[in-house]
Amino acid sequence: MLSLLWLVPVLPLAGAAVLLAGARHFSHRATSAVGLASVGASLLVSLAILAEFGTAHAGIFTQTLFRWLAAGDVVVDFALRVDALSAVMLFFVTFVGFLIHVYSVGYMHGETRRSYARYFAYLNLFMFAMLTLVLGANLLVLFVGWEGVGLCSYLLIGFYFEKEWCASAGKKAFIVNRIGDFGFLLAIFLAFKVFGTVDFAAMEAAVAADPGRYASWATPIALLLFVGAIGKSAQLPLYVWLPDAMAGPTPVSALIHAATMVTAGVYMVARANFLFALSPTALLVVAVVGGVTAVFAATIGLAQNDIKKVLAYSTVSQLGYMFLAAGAGAFAAAIFHVFTHAFFKACLFLGSGSVIHAMGGEQDMRRMGGLKKQLPTTYWTFVVATLALAGIPIFAGFFSKDEILGKVFAAGAADLGGFGRVYLGLWALGVAGAFLTAFYMFRAVYMTFHGTFRGAQGAPGFTSGAHGGPGGAFVPGGGEERHDAPPNQIDQAHHLHESPGSMTWPLRILAVGSIVVGFVGVGKAVTLNVDLNWFEHFLEPVAPAVELAHHASLGIEWTLIALSVAVALAGILLARRFYFGEQAFTRPDRFAAANPTLYNLVANKYYVDELYDATAVAGTMKLAQASWEFDALVVDGAVNGTRHVTVGTSFLSGLFDLNVVDGAVNLLARIYGAWSRALRRVQWGVVQGYALVMAVGFVLMVAAALFLGRAL
């Protein structure tokens, strides 16, 4: 069964090819069948592989498909690899991916046939790229998947490309990612120079054999890899593309921009853990970037009114937590959070999609409220996932987040790499982030599902049961541009309805997942030092944690857990006080009025986009303008100058040709003509004249032979 590994990425690729080829002709039903079947088959194959992998304790299984390139010393095979790390990723990528495909059938049903097929083709292509990324046995194959998911992300963010802001959001994502990818490429080159190979197993073996030899190279390679991770996983300072990426359809946000693609950076860091473990500096950088991003993004999330933007900043923040864990050397904890986050964040995004679907495309939470009654399934699943994200005990997020905070504290206490105080500070940031997370998530819950409905009521032109007007014009989307008017002039209050089964069932499954998946990695402290952390042991062979000098006592760990739970509860209570009940919204409004500077700073996302516009974007534009002027003046001038010179010399050369060369040819012809005119008279036509000449000539020759021959 393991030998069928290649089918896992190839099946979605085949699906994408079929859908792209037949986009014009496929009905909705045919498109859904192809899209779901290819990913479903991929899911089944990977489950079978995982079952065999788990029972056989295979360790590492590598499948070389073909020799990709061989040029001198550079030999790279296109090889896939399953080990504990990629097995975890493989499971949740195919599982969550399949659920989101199912959900998309309901969510995208209003699209035209062609764009419906295009949507599923891109989604299948994404699955192929993501699975290639996860299964790649060397940096280059991983990079192929890495670029592939970037491409699909771009295509799907700009899915409604006829809207200018959607198209530019896609471009923004692509360009910002490019910066990170540049670092990643440099890391690959450097790794090749240092190790002579980019194969993970070979590099790891080289490092294990002689750690001292590679210690000095580990820092630059690890940092360059991390630059790639910063771009893909939306960390400071390259996080700006992810909130804008919400322009894509909501299932895309759930799959690509929450559950799978953005965690690729964490996965890559965990994959290269043997390099990071060698370099305390690199670990510190990862931890600091992660910890600061976690809090920074969470504060922006506090003041967002677009439901998807809240979730987007939450994703950036949670990715920060994952890097914080990786930076503390706890790679298993980072991957554990990737794993649980995939479930509850996908659930949250799909829940928000269900809300947007019911609201006819509305995304502004200020126009929602009281949706609990009309959308009971969406509400309960959303609340479960929110509790998981907030880190309330027994929900999945509690186990993974506490694992992270515990590990970071332990790294601080054990003075990891001599940066103990920094780690303790990051731990404090992490706890603060937990408070902010609980607050902004419950703010979203209260604003969306509780209180009274604040959307459009009784507007004209409403037809019952219509999804936003004739011709399936229902278009989910978002952005500040539309806050003034509801997208479609319909009576939102009467339009509200629970989503169809294809959307609610994935929500239910993911909500159950948000509760249960945490139990695979229950921390040691929670169970009073009884070792039940199956997840960590599973990952131990491929992603071992960095050794710490000493471990925190049970008492301290319990204090930490109690503290983070208390902080989360405090966040929830504050949100309830601010956004629930009779006095909802008055307190936050008063707070904003009292601190206008602070509020504006946060509500405008710290003006980071404006800063980038003023520096990087404006600088690039200026450079482009200058280049254009250089092009117009110097390059075009040189080209035009060349043209003038060419015309001049051609004229001269033409004169020479006409007079000298043609003259010589004509002269020759004239000489021949003159000679011919003279000689042709010999042929005067009298036959006997010819005979006479012949006879005379003969006589003369005989005479010459007789007389001259004798004389000689």
Partner 1 sequence: MIPTGHFLALSSVLFAIGAAGVLLRRNGVSVLLGIEVMLNAANIALVAFSRQHGQLDGQVVVFFVMAVAAAEVAVGLALLVAIYRRSQSIDVDRLNVLRW
The nearest distance, CB 697 to partner 1, in angstroms, is 13
| CB of 562 or CB of 691, closer to partner 1 | 691
| CB of 639 or CB of 695, closer to partner 1 | 695
The nearest distance, CB 672 to partner 1, in angstroms, is 16
The nearest distance, CB 677 to partner 1, in angstroms, is 9
User: What is the C-alpha separation between 530 and 553, in angstroms, rounded?
Assistant: 14
| CB of 630 or CB of 690, closer to partner 1 | 690
Instruction: Return the range that interacts with partner 1 (CB under 8 A); candidates 202-210, 461-469, 555-563, 687-695.
Output: 687-695
Q: C-alpha angle 496/497/501, rounded to 5°?
A: 155
Instruction: Return the range that interacts with partner 1 (CB under 8 A); candidates 315-323, 381-389, 438-446, 679-687.
Output: 679-687
Q: Residue written as tokens 């010819």?
A: 690
- Host H or E run for residue 66: strand 61-71
| CB of 664 or CB of 696, closer to partner 1 | 696
The nearest distance, CB 695 to partner 1, in angstroms, is 6
Q: Check residue 681 for interaction with partner 1 (CB under 8 A).
A: yes
Q: Check residue 674 for interaction with partner 1 (CB under 8 A).
A: no
The nearest distance, CB 670 to partner 1, in angstroms, is 19
Instruction: Return the range that interacts with partner 1 (CB under 8 A); candidates 42-50, 519-527, 637-645, 684-692.
Output: 684-692
Both tokens of 329, joined, read: 């050397």
Q: Check residue 691 for interaction with partner 1 (CB under 8 A).
A: yes
Q: Residue written as tokens 């042991």?
A: 537
329 and 411 Cβ atoms separated by less than 8 Å: yes
Q: How far apart are the first and last CA of the chain?
A: 108
| CB of 644 or CB of 680, closer to partner 1 | 680
| CB of 621 or CB of 674, closer to partner 1 | 674
The nearest distance, CB 694 to partner 1, in angstroms, is 10
The nearest distance, CB 681 to partner 1, in angstroms, is 7
Q: Check residue 705 for interaction with partner 1 (CB under 8 A).
A: no
State the SS3 of 394-415.
Answer: CCHHHHHHHHHHHHHHHHHHCC
| CB of 485 or CB of 679, closer to partner 1 | 679
Q: Check residue 680 for interaction with partner 1 (CB under 8 A).
A: yes
Residue 196 — left, alpha, or beta (φ > 0 → left; ψ -120 to 50 → alpha)? left
Residue 617 burial (CB < 10 Å; 0-12/13-18/19+)?
A: middle
The nearest distance, CB 682 to partner 1, in angstroms, is 8
Greatest Cα pair distance, the chain, in angstroms, is 151
Q: Check residue 678 for interaction with partner 1 (CB under 8 A).
A: no
Q: Residue written as tokens 């590994």?
A: 5
Encoded amino acid at 8, one letter: V
* Beta strand 74-82 pairing with 61-71: antiparallel
| CB of 654 or CB of 689, closer to partner 1 | 689
Which member of 55, 594, 684, 710 binds partner 1 (CB under 8 A)? Answer: 684
Q: Check residue 683 for interaction with partner 1 (CB under 8 A).
A: yes
| CB < 8 Å & 24+ apart, contacts of 661-669 | none
Q: How far from 670 is each of 89, 658, 663, 678, CA to CA, in Å? A: 90, 17, 10, 12
The nearest distance, CB 698 to partner 1, in angstroms, is 10
| CB of 614 or CB of 695, closer to partner 1 | 695
User: What is the C-alpha separation between 701 and 69, in angstroms, rounded?
Assistant: 85
**183-196 as b/e: b if 16+ CB within 10 A:** bbbbbbeebbebbe
| Number of chain positions touching partner 1 (CB under 8 A) | 11
| CB of 611 or CB of 695, closer to partner 1 | 695
The nearest distance, CB 707 to partner 1, in angstroms, is 18
Instruction: Return the range that interacts with partner 1 (CB under 8 A); candidates 57-65, 207-215, 570-578, 686-694.
Output: 686-694
Which member of 208, 623, 635, 695 binds partner 1 (CB under 8 A)? Answer: 695
DSSP code for 136: B
Which member of 71, 593, 687, 708 binds partner 1 (CB under 8 A)? Answer: 687
| CB of 71 or CB of 679, closer to partner 1 | 679
Which member of 688, 708, 710, 711 binds partner 1 (CB under 8 A)? Answer: 688
Q: Check residue 692 for interaction with partner 1 (CB under 8 A).
A: yes
Question: Is residue 163 helix, strand or coil?
Answer: coil
Cis bond upstream, residue 237 (ω within 30): yes
The nearest distance, CB 673 to partner 1, in angstroms, is 14
> Which residues have C-beta within 8 Å of that of residue 433, sequence separation ≥ 6?
291, 294, 295, 298, 317, 320, 321
What is the number of residues in the chain? 712
- x/- binding map, residues 628-667, to partner 1, per CB under 8 A? ----------------------------------------
Q: C-alpha angle 261/70/63, rounded to 5°?
A: 50
Q: Check residue 701 for interaction with partner 1 (CB under 8 A).
A: no
| CB of 66 or CB of 684, closer to partner 1 | 684
Both tokens of 341, joined, read: 């986050």
Q: How far from 103 is each of 15, 29, 90, 526, CA to CA, in Å? A: 18, 14, 20, 35
| CB of 581 or CB of 689, closer to partner 1 | 689
Neighbours of 69 (CB within 10 A): 10
Which member of 209, 652, 686, 712 binds partner 1 (CB under 8 A)? Answer: 686
Both tokens of 568, joined, read: 């989360």
The per-residue DSSP string of 506-523 comes to HHHHHHHHHHHGGGGG--
Instruction: Return the range that interacts with partner 1 (CB under 8 A); candidates 479-487, 554-562, 655-663, 689-697.
Output: 689-697
| CB of 528 or CB of 682, closer to partner 1 | 682
Q: Check residue 74 for interaction with partner 1 (CB under 8 A).
A: no
Instruction: Return the range that interacts with partner 1 (CB under 8 A); candidates 489-497, 499-507, 567-575, 682-690.
Output: 682-690
User: What is the C-alpha separation between 13 and 408, in angstroms, rounded?
Assistant: 40
Where do contacts with partner 1 occur on this chain (CB under 8 A)? 680-681, 683-688, 691-692, 695
